[in-house]
Structures are given as C-alpha cells and as structure tokens.
Amino acid sequence: MSSPTLTKGEAANPAPSSKEPAEAPQEAAPPSALARFLGNPKTLALLVAALVVVVSALVTGDGTWPRSLTADVESPLNDLDNWLVDNRDSHWIFLYFLLHISNFAQAAYDTLLSLLESMSYVGVIVVGTLIAWAAGGADRSRRALRTGGTALAVFVVCGALDVWEPTMETLALMIVSIILSALLGALLGLASGVSDRFEKILRPVFDTMQVMPAFAYLLPLVLMFDIGVPSALIATVIYAAPPMARLTSLGLRQADPTALEAATSLGADSRQRLLTARLPLARKQMMLGLNQTIMMCLSMVVLASLIGAGGLGSEVYEALGALKIGDALVAGVAVVLLAVLLDRTTAAAGERLDDVATTSFSRAAAQLRLAVWGGIAALTAVFAAVGTAVAGDEWPENWVVDFTNSIDTAVNWFTDHLGSGIPLLGGTITWAEGFTEIVLNPLRNGLQTTPWWALALLVAVIGWIVGTWRAALTGVVCLALIGWMRLWDVAMDTLSQVLAGLVLTVVVGVLVGVLCARVERVDKIMRPVLDTMQTMPQFVYLIPVIALVGQNRTGGILAAVVYAAPAVIRITAQGLRHVDPAAMEASNSLGATGMQQLFGVQLPLARKSILVALNQGVVLVLSMVVIAGLIGGGALGYMVVRGLSKGDLSQGFPAGIAIVCLGIMLDRLSQPAAKRSRD
Amino acid sequence: MSETAEATAAGEHENAHEHGDQAGPAISVRNLWKVFGPKADRIPRDASYAELSQSELRERTGCTAAVRDVSFDVHQGEVFVVMGLSGSGKSTLVRCLTRLIEPTAGSLEFNGEDVIGMGADALRELRRHRASMVFQNFGLLPHRTVVDNVAYGLEIQGMAKAERRERAAEMVAKVGLDGLGERRPGQLSGGQQQRVGLARALAVDPEVLLFDEPFSALDPLIRRDMQEEVIRLHREEGRTMVFITHDLSEALRLGDRIALMRDGEVVQLGTPEEIVANPADDYVRDFVRDVPREQVISVRRAMRPAEGAEAKTGTEVAPDTLVSTAIETVARTGEHCRVVEDGRLLGVVDHASLLIVVAGLDKDADPEDAAPEDGTEREVAAV
C-alpha cells in the first residue's frame, strides 16, 4: 500500500549505494551492500517509518483524521459567499476598485470580439495569415511561407469544422490576455532584472506559482469577480505572466557581461545601458518567454470555460459533460490547431531574431517589413469597416464538413469491439477496470486505512531524507491542513491516483527518454510529437481518453501520464545527452557495452536531471488528475470542478486549498535535489 | 621582426614631437591597490599585511589583493605594456584606470587630473571622451550592424545619427573593414570583430586607448596582423596606449616600456631591452629565458671601445640598432661596425661582441644561464 512511496524514496538513493562497493573492490573487505544500506541512518529511518506505516495500518484498520482536530470551514465560507453576493454591486471595494478591473476586462474582450466579427471570416483569415507570414519574415523564404500557410490552414479547418464562432471567442480572449500578461510579465521581469531586491521578492512567488495547478487561480477570482469573462481573463493574465517575467529577468541578467562592460567603458549611464545593450541582448529570452506565456494563456483560456469563459473550451466542456465525444473532439482539434498556430508563429518570430545576428542590414528589406505591417493594419481597418457587407457575418453553411457523427460512430464501434470482450486480451475498458481494481483500489484503501500519524511520519522522514527538516515540516503541515478541513479521505483518494500516475509517468518517461537519448531515429520521431504535446492545453487530453477507456479514475490517470510524460521524457533525454562526453568516450575506449555505458555512466551522471524530471512529473500529474475530476476521476478534482461551475464556494474552495497543499507537499518531497542542481 | 621594432622606435620619435606641447605623464598611478574581499580597505592601510604573500593574505583575512601598491607613469604618446600571467592582476589594473573597477586605495591622475575624486558625471565624461577600451572578447552588440557598433560610443555621447554614422564609416575604413559596414558582428571573423572593437574605441577620439588582452582570443596569424595594425595606428596617430597582454613576444613587439606584473605587484618596469638584458629577479629571468636576445638588445649593450685603426673603418650603425641587424651587416661586410651617434664614435661591435650577446654571456645576464641553448644557436645559424 505504501509501496509507491517507498520506491520513490529509494529512487533518490540507489545509485551510490549500489555502485560504490563495485568500484572499490580492493580496499580491505568492504562491508556488504546490505550492511552499508542499513548502516546509513537515513535509509534506516525510512525503513522504520515504512514498517510503522504497514503495521499500524494492519492493526488499526482505520486512518481517518480525528474529528476533534477539524474545523467547520463550510459555514464561514457560505457566509462569505452570501456576503459577496449581497455586496458585489454596492460595497466600496467593488465599486471603486474591483468593478473597474472587471469592467475593463469585459470591455476589452467585447471590443476585440466585435472587431473580429465585423471583419467577417474572410477578413480574419486574410489578416491572420498575413500576420503569421510577416512574423515568419515577410518574404518568400520557406519559413515565412510555412508560417503563413499554417495560419491559413488552421483558420480554414476551424471554419470547416463548424467551430468558427467559438474559435473567434477564444481568439478574442487570447489576444487580450496575451497582450496584458506579456505587458505585466515584461514589467515585472524588467523590475526583477534590474533590481536585486525585486528579484528576491518575486522569485519565490514565481516558484510557488509554478507548482500550483491551473484552476487554483480560478477559485479566488470567482470569489471576487463572480463567474464570467472578467474572472477568466484576469486568472489567465495572472497565470501566464510568470514565464515572461522570469525569462525577461533572466535575459537581462545573462546579457553578455563584456558587452555591458564595453557600454560602461564608453561612458553609458545605467539608463543608456539598459536601453541600448541589456534589453536588446535579452530579446531572445524575452521571445522565448512570450512563446511560453502564449501557450499558458491558451491552456488557461480553455480551462476557464469552467467559470464561464465561453469559446472552444466550453464547447469541449459541455460536450464532455454530455458524453458527446464527436463534438468534444472537433472542438479539441480546433484548440490544438490554435495551439500549433500560435506556437509556430512565435517560434518563427524567435528564429528571425537569431537570424538578425548573421545577416547584413538592408534598407530595402527594412522598408519592406515596415510596409507589410502598415498594410496589415490598413487591411484590418478596411475589413472592419466593410467585412460583413462583403462576405456576410457567418461562416457559409455549405462550407462545413460535419465529422461529429462519423466520430461518434467510430467511437461506438471502438467501445463495442475493442473496449472489452476481445478473447484473451480483454480490451481497453477491461484493462482500465483491471487497473482500477488491482492497483488503484488497494492503493486508495491502503492510504485511507493508514493512520494519519503514521502517514505524517512517513512524509516527514521522506522530506528529511530528500531535503531538509524544512521540507519535512512543510509536508506535515500540508497534510495537517488537509485533515483540519475534513478532507482527509477524499484527499487520500486523490493522492492514490497521483501516486499511481506518477509511477507510470516516471517509468514511461525515463524509458522513452533513454530511448530518445540513445537511438537517434526514435529521437527524430519523438521530437515533433513531444513539441506538439507540450503545447496542447490540458483539457484536450481528456477527450481521446474517454473514447478509449470511458469515464473513470483510470481514464484520468491515463490522461495524466500522457500529459506529464513529454516533460519527463524531454528532461531525461536532455540529461542523458548532456553527460560529459569525455566520460562517455572514456567508457567507450575501455570497451563498455551499451548497457554498461547506460547504467555505469549515463544514468548515474544524469541523476540530477532525472530527479528534476520527477519533480516536474509530480506537478503535471497532480494538475491533470485534478482536472480528470471532470471525467469521473472523482475526489478533490470533482469537488473543485463542481464548486467552480456551480459557484459553490464552500465546496470548491477547501478542496482547491487541499489540492494546493498536496501539490506543495509532493513538490517539496521531490524538490531539494532539483534545487541543488539549480545552485 | 627587427623592422617592426625599428618602426615602433621611429614612431616613438614622431610622437615625441607631436605631443611635445603636453607636459607631464598621460596617466600617473601612485600606490594603487585593489583588494577583493571583506573589509578590503584595511589591507592597504596596515603595513603588516604588506609582507604577506597572496595565499597567506587570503588565509589571514579572506581578501585577495589583485593590485598591490602599484605605481607608474604612462608617458604621452607611448605604448605602455602591462604584462603578466593570468591572475597577476593586470586586467584588474587596467579597469582601475577608468574605475570600471573601483580601486581600493591610491591615487590616479589623467593628464594631471585626479580620477579617484571624480563624481559620476565627470567620470562618465572621462570614459566618453578621454579613454576608451578594447576588450578581449570584443563586447560587440550582436543585433547592431558594424557601423552602428562603431558609432555606439558616439551615440552614448548624444551625437546626432547622421553625424555619428559618417564618423563611424570613416573609422570602419580606417581599420580596413571597408564595405562591411552593414554586416552584423556574427558574420565576421574573430579578427574582423576585433577590428570593429578597435574602430569603436577610436571613433570617440580618446586621449588614451586601453587594450585588455585584445588579441588573446585570436589565432596566431590573425594576432600578428592585428599587432601590425596597432603598430600602424600608433605610428599614424601617436595616441597613448596602455596594452595588457600575457604574451611576452606581443609585449616585446608593441611596448615602448613594459611593466611586468606578478601577484598584483609590478616586478620590473623598463624598455623591452632592459627587461631582457637586465632582468630584475629570477622570476623575470625565467620569463625572458627563451627570448631571442639579438632581436631585442641593441648594439649599445654589445659594443666595446674601439682599438687602434678600428675607429676609422667599418660600417656606421646607430646605437639603438638591434644586434640581429648588426650581425647581418658584420656577416655581409666581414668586418666590425662602428656605433655612431650624432657623428660621435661610441664604440665598435665585431663577431665576438655580438656573439656574446646572442649567447647570453654579456655582463648583465645571469651566470648560470650563460651556457648557450640549442635554440639560440639555431637562431644564429638562421641569421
């Protein structure tokens, strides 16, 4: 029952304990591996803790957090909710502050949406394609044409799939939130890049924000702004600004020191240095930040359909709720296409920045670029004025291809024929049920029957082993908070899903990562797949999973594995590939076989990045498992989702906090190694 | 090589005329200290620390003295070379000159004007107009064209765009990058990039050019080209230069005077000839051991008084003629040379006296070092 926790604890230690005796065999009779293993006080403590967990679980058979140590958090939250509903239109804090923000957000969104609508589909397609083409370099190069072509294809397909309107809603929300979060991010990044004090304040804030699951941002905003576009927009801006801020600050701090010294030596004051040297030198990093910010915006905008953001996300959400897989898939495809479009366009713009350093300046090209952007602006104005008159305001009916029915048929056929009842093999649904029964249920029951104090002890010991007493303390406090809010059993359910998902993710991720790092052909195939997977919003992953295994906990875990694996694969492969080439060459020259090299050199040297991958996996798996509450994952995720969509704060808020607690606990238990490598 | 050395010498004379009107040294450094570490300023004040070696100092105080009590003058129009191995404090020293690194103690004057006491504005003016620097790793801005990089210093001064671009274009031509003005640094070779760095420093027409190991990152052939370029520029403009290098041959080629640094201190300051012919201590001696002496030492050190009829015959040479040149003359004519200055006979050199220099047997050289090394013999054979 506590086995996955145990293996995780061991994972941090095995390499040295098993390797060292083998490397120093000549020194006067080294103690046996087992003796060394037991001799380490930390491993001993872990064993004792694990033993306590098992024994106490068997003896007591009931592990719920004691009722006497809890508090009623629902009633005060209900009171608060009622107060908010009563005062949202009258209290001064709303009238003079929050309402302005939400009105601005709503107005910006409305303006943009009406602009897009008045341009009609023709205008949007033409201007969108031109912008992508211009971002790619505005010439006849392959990159410019490819970027423009991608945009054209994406818009046309979105129209043909009959999701033009929700696509425009999403696009309008995206544009506003991208502009705002990029601005906010750039300003914060500028501040923390220039001032050490700001950096010191902002850094831990960003670190914590990175750990928080996306929808955790929605809760407090719903509290303040109610359900609707303003909440969605503001949550998106807050969620997506950190990468821009982080990378801006990084770019400013990493700017070539010689160039900066040269600027100083020529007598530049700090303002001149910032404007003429530091900022231009940070452009590449800032572009990277913009790309990440955009992808996070998309992810959040789609997810924000839970709180009434509309657009493609709500198409997916509603279709999932009604089990209309065809509709969900069509909207999902549109989301993916939008993701591809935005990613390719910003990536192309980023590549162009690289090119600048290796091409001569040409006046003609510069003038042409200016003319192109001017033309785009003019075209936008023209279409906005006359677009609907020329092309009508809706995507023509007869240009629509309806896939939903055929998809539904295909999914039904799949569930009937491959889902279950295949002789000997079973079928995907049978497998899912098996996984639930053999792995998930025992794991959940085990966690739930383990006494809370035994579990806290285990968490403390792992925290102490992996990091410091501070990690141990944080972990225990998080657990206690969950118990205090009367969410112990539900949280254990979620935890069991996260642990199962995490183990699968790490196994799959490390295996594929090793393959990618060692077999060039696999890497070549995987790279674009991983690129695309990492740009897709979380929501989209749920759709195919439902088709495959139906609505249950296993589905959620499968989605989590698929969602989290790319990051783990990538970090593992990168870590393996960046192993000191001299060490690799040395082992080659000693005649090591591929396996010897992998286990003797590559994996031990890449240990740090595998631990970083584990840490990333924890965060990603948790955020997905929670969203899987939508499709039958139950537990905390379901409470949050329902709390959000029904506006029922007394349920959603504590559950959301419990999830954040779980997230922080798991992050701390897997992080210190990552932190060390960062220093 | 001898030709360039002569050229440098010739250049020096010209400069002396050009800058004759300015009295006093271009840069005057007195008791300059730079100490890194906690409470750095107590180190220069306390004489008891002065005796400690670098490692003892670090052990005792946690501080590192990168520059220790350094004093020297840079004369108007000369090429002043600071040379030393890495970690000897030479790069710190040159940065102290414009306070890119703030000195811990000591005084520093630029044409008689106190630099240490300057406020931020005055210091910026100094950096903008009077001293500019060329860096080892170029420090170019990759997103700007060559011309805009060269114009960067002028832009910082606030010069209008058209004017500064015109000026920059001149400089680009001057360093031999004609036609490459619209390129970006990424498209240039290392040598070309450093020419851009040089042009950028020249564009602001500074009184002093500071070079921080400018050619260390270049491969040997390009490095030689760039050294020629610096020699040419110095001959044409006679600008005062402070040149940091760890390369002894570079120091000997370029320097009118050389300050040799070790562990933050100047161990010897003198002309290349003085340093090679008359090393101050074992460290310097070790340093210059492999230098082909005949290419640095002049006949002034090799000559002996004329005997009998010798004063009447033989080719006339100037006293600062290099021994290697004299060897050539002696070998060709088959007789001794007369060393003559302003029509006055100073002495003569013949086969024996020249060979003594090549072999390192002259009176200043270390007795232990007297045995001629294989390399030196081969040099003679080559000549």
A22-59 per-position pLDDT tens digit: 444 444 455 566 666 666 666 777 777 777 777 776 66
Residue A310 lies in a domain: no
Tokens of A485: 């809010």
Q: Cβ separation of A258 and B139 shorter than 8 Å?
A: yes
Contact (Cβ atoms closer than 8 angstroms) between residue A644 and residue A215: yes
For residue A272, the chain B residues in CB contact (below 8 A) are 156
pLDDT digits (tens, 9 = 90+) for A616-635: 888 888 888 877 777 777 78
CB-closest option in B127, B145, B187 to A358: B187
- The rounded distance, in Å, linking the Cα atoms of B151 and B160 is 10
What burial class does residue A88 get, using C-beta atoms within 10 Å of its C-beta: 0-12 exposed, 13-18 middle, 19+ buried? Answer: middle
Tell which of A265, A276, A278, A361 to mutate to test the B interface (max B CBs under 10 Å).
A265
Q: Cβ separation of A267 and B126 shorter than 8 Å?
A: yes
pLDDT digits (tens, 9 = 90+) for A641-664: 777 777 677 777 788 888 888 888
- The rounded distance, in Å, linking the Cα atoms of A296 and A288 is 12
pLDDT at A75 over 80: no
Tokens of B364: 């200043």
Tell which of A254, A261, A264, A266 to mutate to test the B interface (max B CBs under 10 Å).
A266
Residue A401 lies in a domain: no
Give how far the C-alpha of residue A404 lies from the chain's centroid of Cα atoms, to the nearest Å: 28
Residue A488 lies in a domain: yes
Domain count for chain A, please give it.
1
Q: Å from B187 to nearest chain A CA?
A: 5
pLDDT at B148 over 80: yes
How much is the pLDDT for A17? 39
A660 is in which domain, residue-wise?
Answer: 427-678
Q: Å from A391 to nearest chain B CA?
A: 43
For residue A261, the chain B residues in CB contact (below 8 A) are 100, 135, 139
Q: Å from B346 to nearest chain A CA?
A: 48
For residue A268, the chain B residues in CB contact (below 8 A) are 156
pLDDT digits (tens, 9 = 90+) for A253-264: 888 888 888 998
How much is the pLDDT for A62? 66
pLDDT at B241 over 90: yes
Q: Å from A357 to nearest chain B CA?
A: 5
Confidence of residue A18 (pLDDT cuts 50, 70, 90): very low
pLDDT at B1 over 60: no
- The rounded distance, in Å, linking the Cα atoms of A611 and A669 is 11
Residue A462 lies in a domain: yes
For residue B155, the chain A residues in CB contact (below 8 A) are 276
- The rounded distance, in Å, linking the Cα atoms of B194 and B273 is 29
pLDDT at B243 over 90: yes
Q: Cβ separation of A267 and B129 shorter than 8 Å?
A: yes
**CATH code where residue A637 lies:** 1.10.3720.10
pLDDT at A342 over 90: no
Contact (Cβ atoms closer than 8 angstroms) between residue A432 and residue A555: yes
pLDDT digits (tens, 9 = 90+) for B335-369: 888 888 888 888 888 888 888 888 877 655 444 44
Instruction: Write down the mean pLDDT value for chain B.
Output: 83
CB-closest option in A258, A359, A360 to B138: A258
Instruction: Write down the mean pLDDT value for chain A.
Output: 77
Given the DSSP bridges, would you call strands B79-83 and B257-262 parallel, antiparallel or unpaired? parallel
- Torsions phi, psi for B219 (to 5 deg): -80, 160
End-to-end CA distance of chain B: 12
Residue A509 lies in a domain: yes
Confidence of residue B381 (pLDDT cuts 50, 70, 90): very low
pTM: 0.77
- Torsions phi, psi for B266 (to 5 deg): -85, 115
A/B interface, count of CB pairs below 8 Å: 88
Quick one: CATH architecture of B2-288?
A: 3-Layer(aba) Sandwich (3.40)
At residue A308, what is the residue type? G
- The rounded distance, in Å, linking the Cα atoms of B100 and B204 is 18
Q: Cβ separation of B141 and A362 shorter than 8 Å?
A: no
What are the C-alpha distances in Å from A111 to residues A244, A379, B242?
25, 18, 63
How much is the pLDDT for B22? 55
For residue A281, the chain B residues in CB contact (below 8 A) are 141-143
Q: A152: how many CB neighbours lie within 10 A of its CB?
A: 18
- The number of CA neighbours under 13 Å toward the Cβ of B17 is 7
Q: Average pLDDT in the A89-111 region?
A: 78
pLDDT at B313 over 80: yes
pLDDT at A674 over 60: no
> Of the candidates A645, A657, A432, A453, which has an alpha carbon nearest to the alpha carbon of residue A555?
A432
CB-closest option in A263, A272, A358 to B184: A358
Scanning every residue of chain B, which has its alpha carbon at the shortest distance from the alpha carbon of A280? B143
- The rounded distance, in Å, linking the Cα atoms of A553 and A460 is 28
Q: B3: how many CB neighbours lie within 10 A of its CB?
A: 9
**Cα dihedral sign for A273, B130, B262, B250?**
positive
pLDDT digits (tens, 9 = 90+) for A536-580: 777 778 777 777 777 777 777 888 888 888 888 888 888 887 777
Tell me which residue has tokens 């839970």: A306
Q: Å from B335 to nearest chain A CA?
A: 55
Q: Cβ separation of A264 and B182 shorter than 8 Å?
A: no
How much is the pLDDT for B357? 85
Domain coordinates in residue numbering, chain B = 2-288, 293-382
Residue A302 lies in a domain: no
For residue B182, the chain A residues in CB contact (below 8 A) are 360-362
Among A292-296, A567-571, A670-674, B269-273, the minimum mean pLDDT is found in: A670-674
Q: A220: how many CB neighbours lie within 10 A of its CB?
A: 16
pLDDT digits (tens, 9 = 90+) for A230-257: 888 888 888 888 889 988 998 888 888 8
Q: Average pLDDT in the A195-202 region?
A: 87
Q: Å from B337 to nearest chain A CA?
A: 50
Q: Average pLDDT in the A83-98 region?
A: 72
- The rounded distance, in Å, linking the Cα atoms of A656 and A660 is 6
pLDDT at B12 over 50: no
Question: Of A150-159, A351-360, A386-395, A538-547, where does the model show the most confidence?
Answer: A150-159
- The rounded distance, in Å, linking the Cα atoms of A347 and B289 is 57
Q: Å from A192 to nearest chain B CA?
A: 23
The β-bridge partners of A388 are: none
SS3 B281: coil
SS3 A557: helix
Tokens of B96: 């102290």
Tokens of A340: 């591809």
Eight-class DSSP state of B119: -
Tell me which residue has tokens 């520059």: B67
The β-bridge partners of B133 are: B210
pLDDT at A3 over 50: no
How much is the pLDDT for A37? 60
> Of the candidates A337, A328, A342, A331, which has an alpha carbon nearest to the alpha carbon of residue A177?
A342
Report CA dihedral (B375, B379, B381, B383) to the nearest 10 degrees.
Answer: 180
Contact (Cβ atoms closer than 8 angstroms) between residue B358 and residue B382: no
- The rounded distance, in Å, linking the Cα atoms of A178 and A293 is 7
**Burial letters for A391-430: b for 16+ Cβ neighbours within 10 Å, e otherwise?**
beeebeeeeeeebbeebbeebeebbeeebbeeeeebbbbe
Q: Cβ separation of B200 and A357 shorter than 8 Å?
A: no
- The rounded distance, in Å, linking the Cα atoms of B67 and B32 is 7
Residue A481 lies in a domain: yes
The percentage of residues in chain A with a pLDDT greater than 90, rounded to a whole number, is 2
pLDDT digits (tens, 9 = 90+) for A430-465: 777 777 777 777 777 777 777 777 777 777 777 777
What are the C-alpha distances in Å from A75 to residues A418, A483, A562, B203?
48, 17, 39, 75
| Residue B258 or residue A20, greater confidence | B258
pLDDT at B291 over 90: no
- The rounded distance, in Å, linking the Cα atoms of A287 and A306 is 30
How much is the pLDDT for A425? 65
Residue A540 lies in a domain: yes
Q: Average pLDDT in the A577-591 region?
A: 78
pLDDT at A193 over 90: no
Query: Which value does ipTM take for this structure?
Result: 0.78
Q: Cβ separation of A262 and B139 shorter than 8 Å?
A: yes
pLDDT digits (tens, 9 = 90+) for B33-85: 898 888 888 888 777 777 778 888 888 888 888 898 899 999 999 999 999 88
Cβ partners under 8 Å of residue B29, min gap 6 = B70, B71, B72, B73, B74, B97, B106, B107, B108, B109
pLDDT at B380 over 60: no
Scanning every residue of chain A, which has its alpha carbon at the shortest distance from the alpha carbon of B153? A266
The β-bridge partners of B65 are: B35
pLDDT digits (tens, 9 = 90+) for A259-286: 888 998 888 888 888 888 888 888 888 8
Pick B293-382's CATH classification: 3.40.50.620, 3.30.565.10, 3.40.140.10, 3.90.1280.20: 3.90.1280.20
Tell which of B184, B198, B210 to mutate to test the A interface (max A CBs under 10 Å).
B184
